[in-house]
């Protein structure tokens, strides 16, 4: 059986090579590119992201990434967002009091967490959603690596839940979305590529649906 072909979308964000290596270790044949045809036709598209929401959206738009994601979702072709690559899938994000438009693939806004210590940096446990594919076989109490100050706060996740999404939660000051699965689109707020064996299992589970 051939390894699934995955594209890590290169839109100027950092963390591309670590994402590439992690997805390859999980069992995929990986290409890092901004080529729209390859990104549309591949078995799975990974959208990484680090830094500021608005900057990532600007980079994504520069390569037509928001249109690629929308088209893949329309066609039922899997997409995986990571960290800010998850955040930009929502309708908007607020950083330093400035609101920026996101891809709008999912309803909701990414906002600053209400916590005594930010960023939320380090290892934390998650509560997988019922029926989660990403967390199949992941033992209770498994920890994943986070680096962020903003997230989809569960207090505002109602519209996404009403749309039928599975939301895996984490808590840092307040509950937030650690991962979302909805049709062909999945995303993690944590970094699977920095989460050791646990992250590799999540990536392997995602590859299993390709």
| Catalytic annotation present for 182 | no
- 83, 103, 120, 172: the catalytic one is 83
Taking CA atoms, 109 is separated from 1, 66, 90, 144, 169, in Å, by: 40, 16, 6, 23, 16
Beta pairing class for 98-101 and 185-188: unpaired
- For residue 119, whether the previous peptide bond is cis, meaning omega lies within 30 degrees of 0, is yes
Host H or E run for residue 181: strand 174-182
Q: Which of 180, 196, 209 is nearest to 142 (CA)?
A: 196
Classify residue 46 by its DSSP letter. Answer: E
Out of 25-39, 75-89, 90-104, 107-121, least confident range: 90-104
- 120, 148, 172, 191: the catalytic one is 191
Write the pLDDT tens digit of every residue in 25-40: 999 999 999 999 999 9
Delimit the domains of the chain by residue range.
Answer: 5-207
The model's confidence at residue 206, banded by pLDDT at 50, 70 and 90, is: very high
At a CB cut-off of 8 Å and minimum separation 6, what does 66 contact? 57, 60, 88, 103
| Catalytic annotation present for 193 | yes
| Catalytic annotation present for 191 | yes
Task: Give the CATH class of 5-207.
Answer: alpha beta
Whole-prediction pTM: 0.97
Taking the C-alpha atoms of residue 42 and residue 150, their distance in angstroms, rounded to an integer, is 30
């Amino acid at each position: 059986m051939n390894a699934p072909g995955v594209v890590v979308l290169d839109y100027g964000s950092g963390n591309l090579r670590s994402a590439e290596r992690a997805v390859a270790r999980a069992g995929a044949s990986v290409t890092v590119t901004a080529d729209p045809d390859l990104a549309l036709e591949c078995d799975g598209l990974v959208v990484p992201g680090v830094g500021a929401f608005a900057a990532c959206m600007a980079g994504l738009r520069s390569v037509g990434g928001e249109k690629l994601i929308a088209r893949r979702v329309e066609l039922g072709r899997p997409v995986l967002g990571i960290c800010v690559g998850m955040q930009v899938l929502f309708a908007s994000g607020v950083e330093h009091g400035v609101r920026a438009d996101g891809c709008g693939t999912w309803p909701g806004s990414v906002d600053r967490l209400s916590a005594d210590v930010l960023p939320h940096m380090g290892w934390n446990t998650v509560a997988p959603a019922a029926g989660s594919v990403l967390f199949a076989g992941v033992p209770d109490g498994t920890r994943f690596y986070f680096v962020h100050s903003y997230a989809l706060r569960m207090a505002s996740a109602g519209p996404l839940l009403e749309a039928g999404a599975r939301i895996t939660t984490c808590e840092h000051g307040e509950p937030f979305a650690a991962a979302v699965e909805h049709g062909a689109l999945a995303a993690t707020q944590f970094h699977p590529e920095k989460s050791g064996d646990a992250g590799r299992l999540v990536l392997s589970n995602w590859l299993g649906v390709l």
